[in-house]
Amino acid sequence: MADKNKFDLIVVGAGPGGYVAAVRAAQLGMKVACVDKRPRLGGVCLNEGCIPSKALLDSSEYFHLASEEFAAHGIGIGPMRLDLATMMARKDQVVTDLTDNVRKLLVNNKIEIIQGTASLAGDGQLKVGPPSGKGRKKTFKAGAIMLATGSETISLPKLTFDKNYIVDAGAALKFESVPKHLGIVGGGYIGLEIGSIWLRLGAKVTVIEMLPHVAASTDSQIGRRLERLLKKQGMAFELKTSVTSARVKGAKVEVSMEKGGKSAKASFDKLLVAVGRKPLTDGLGLKNLGVDANKETGRIVVDEKYETSVAGVYAIGDLVEGPMLAHKASAEGVAAAECIAGRHGEVNYDAIPSVIYTAPEVASVGLTEDQAKAREIPYCVGAFPFAGTGRARCMGLTDGLVKLVVHSQTDRLLGAHIIGPRAADMIAECVLALEFGASSEDIARTVHGHPTFSEALQEAALSARACSIYAS
């Protein structure tokens, strides 16, 4: 009689990396279980991050358009009224629908769902206890165990989260009213996206960033353009500034800052701390089992098959090196499952897109101009503004540009960076071009529909092509 507690693969974590890995493994004929402590599957991305933030970004953009832009199109709708409770309810329903779909996906693929907290016990064993972490544990066995527990918000010593005034991103997506003044510590994509939501809904927003510019991981030209456009929208920035402490006083958060050796203070209704994320490994028993991790980053060390230093234990997603992106985790989940099944699975890390869902959107893939310069790669740049496209003119969305970085001697595409309307979708063409080793000429000769935003990409490719042809 088969042991019901024995599997070919047990995946720990049901986020975008874990549930995708579980499904792919099941498709390859494995008996699979997926463990997660949440009653709702989908991980941080579906429950607290990617999905709820995008739902509110879309809702807040509609509100902004109705308030500020519709009149120019000859649409008059009378006095505007914000029903934040309905907006939040819609966001919650979107999350519920998608997390329910994840559960159905696992069930339909005959994957056993186990709710609880998991810890490695060695020899292919996994102990799973109640979600609270307290109580009797049950032992499961598997030929392979894949860790996909994701990441958690980094907290700062003197900025203690209280879920009400000093908050993380998850709490900032659940405010019951629009704060009069929202302070944000950290100018990365999380802070800028959440700041955009509340700015559009009427809040004053101030971003405090230690670096000299926001969106530091983007191409520097694109990042500067984004900063200017967000300032134009009303977002304020305190750059080269560090927060030394914060305390709640009455119904305000009093913040102490330091800039250029000088001290300053500020007062906010809410303070969002968004300085990054770290691997979520607490309670997994990695040290006891001898799983190697990077001492500086806490990331688990894996080989090309995503296997850790302990045979039969694998790790993917935010737990391992690379950008903390849901689609990167999903790609690794598929690749790792295929490796476990004895197939060849890999991820092209040079072709993983990243997106900032502000307005305008920012999307990038491949090398930035700064990176090409630092690596001493001969390159040239082709760029084209959205203001030059008919579609952007028709829609009144002319801010931004497309920028391509290409090898000046081979014309091969090295990187693509877009700031403007529909950038999140347009970048897919560039990802495919990178994946196939396309040149700027390939993109330039591809017929693009007219009038479309993607024509800016074609024009940028034509510009880059001219550069590479005449490069010495």
Phi, psi of 386 (to 5 degrees): -65, -25
448 labelled catalytic: no
120 contact partners, CB below 8 Å, separation of at least 6: 126, 127, 145, 284, 285, 286, 288, 289, 291, 310, 313
Q: Are 38 and 47 in contact (CB under 8 A)?
A: yes
DSSP, res 202: T
CB atoms within 10 A of CB 168: 19
Host H or E run for residue 50: helix 50-64
Among 301, 345, 338, which Cα is nearest to 320's?
301
Going through 218-359 in order, the beta strands assigned E by DSSP cover 236-238, 241-249, 252-259, 262-268, 270-273, 277-279, 313-315, 354-356
Beta-ladder partners of 272: 167, 184
* Catalytic residue, candidates 181, 327, 344, 450: 450
Across 298-337, b (16+ Cβ under 10 Å) vs e yields: ebbebeeebbbeeebbbbbbbbbebebbbbbbbbbbbbbb
Which residue has tokens 């230093």? Answer: 309
Q: Are 443 and 433 in contact (CB under 8 A)?
A: yes
Beta-ladder partners of 256: 245, 265
In angstroms, rounded to a whole number, what is the distance separating the alpha carbons of residues 203 and 409?
49
Among 10, 84, 19, 23, which Cα is nearest to 47's?
19
Helix (H, G, I), strand (E, B) or coil at 266: strand
CB atoms within 10 A of CB 269: 18
Among 463, 466, 472, which Cα is nearest to 403's?
463
In angstroms, rounded to a whole number, what is the distance separating the alpha carbons of residues 239 and 214?
8
Known catalytic residues are 450
